[in-house]
A = this chain, B = another copy of it.
């Protein structure tokens, strides 16, 4: 296959969806990838570019013949072109912009003028709008007369004379109604517009919360400037959740196809922060060096208290971070949630205090040590539950992303409290 037979390759890849070709390109190694792309040549589809990871996309754009590239991007919708070029360096960006027709280029440049991750970047300018006073016949004739309709559209947006959207009609309703029906009669009840500067995460939230299929985007004067469709919102929702998963795990923006250098750069800072918090925990242990010297069993059991606290903290912080993101945790139910976490922490603490107390007695044969670890367990799981809610809420109020920073703070709290409680109690009881 890789003997340079570009016709055979084109025939092979032709029935495959661009998204799958992109996945294929991501999975092979760098050399194969470049050879594949160059062999594929003129058949290369712009949609494949849209589907690729950023790092790989850049290397492929660099490898493509400028003519092939120009041809590939010409068929894309304006929002896809924006998505494609917003992360590119200037020279690559210019090659693509030059390939576009003048009107398309203007649309893309206008979108790029909006802030990153805003509704303005996400929307497409291709849309179908109609004056409020039209009837069904009008719309159908209008559409038949225009051959530059968007590839995908589901609604006709009604606008007043100043281009402010006032409602929308689904295509299904239009088709099911007689030609004489007024658009305002078959308009949908609920209707939401999206401000062009709104953050894309908020846009995805609105689509998910209100089950929108498409929504008109308006500028500061409430005038219609574009439309966002659910497929774009779904991509953003997916990205936001992926980002939260990675942030909760202490990994920056990253993907499997990154080079070693990029991966190190994404992970090293978090490990560095973790090292600082681990050293803080160690300093707590250092205070009790004498106690440990007298009872080495403490060193053996110490990590159990810390580990249980860390895990319980991670559980409650994850639930809290997600509840903040989905707007389920607000000031009106915060106290109820805190009381509940305290109760859960106490119950779990009591259960594992009992278990570890028994383990302590059997293992080391002393009731004192067992009592100490049991008490430390209750204290640490209670603190874990409380800090798991309070830390993310506090970070949110300070405008810091709770997904990003909560883990470190909560673990520090549980480590410090856990070691203090366990070793401190041991010092009092056993010495």
Which residues of A does B touch, CB under 8 Å? 17, 19-20, 23, 26-29, 128, 139-140, 143-144, 146-147, 149-150, 152-154, 170-172, 174-178, 190, 207-211, 213, 230-231, 233-235, 237-238, 241-242, 244-246, 248-251, 254-257, 260, 263-264, 267-268, 270-272, 274-275, 277-279, 281-282, 285-286, 289, 292-293, 296-304, 306-308, 311-312, 314-315, 317-320, 322-323, 327-330, 332-333, 336-337, 340, 343-344, 347-348, 351-352, 355-356, 359, 411, 415
Contacts and interface: CB of A to CB of B under 8 A. Distances in A.
Query: Copies per complex?
Result: 2
A230 B234 contact: yes
Nearest to A246: B318
Contacts of A320: 256
B303 A251 contact: no
A234 to B, nearest CB: 5
Given A303-B285, A303-B303, A213 B152 contact: yes
Q: Is the interface of A mostly helix, strand, loop or mixed?
A: helix
Given A307-B274, A415-B303, A175 B178 contact: no
Contact of A172 (B19, B153, B311): B153
A30 B261 CA distance: 53
Contacts of A347: 260, 264
Contact of A278 (B178, B246, B304, B415): B304
Contact of A244 (B172, B234, B245): B245
A315 B272 CA distance: 13
A323 to B, nearest CB: 5
A404 to B, nearest CB: 14
Contact of A242 (B28, B230, B322, B359): B322
A114 B411 CA distance: 44
A317 B320 CA distance: 22
A172 B126 CA distance: 13
Contact of A246 (B270, B319, B327): B319
Contact of A312 (B230, B271, B319): B271
Given A19-B210, A237-B238, A250 B26 contact: no
A264 B176 contact: no
Contacts of A209: 17, 19-20
11 contacts: A23-B328, A140-B175, A143-B175, A250-B311, A255-B323, A256-B320, A260-B344, A264-B344, A274-B307, A275-B304, A292-B292
A172 B172 contact: no
A175 B170 contact: no
A296 B304 contact: no
A225 B136 CA distance: 31
B279 A304 contact: yes
B178 A144 contact: yes
A253 to B, nearest CB: 11
A275 B175 contact: no
Contacts of A411: 307
Closest 10 pairs (CB-CB, A-B) = A249-B318, A171-B171, A299-B299, A241-B241, A278-B307, A278-B304, A256-B323, A274-B311, A260-B343, A27-B333
B213 A231 contact: yes
A314 B231 contact: no
Contacts of A128: 172
A342 to B, nearest CB: 10
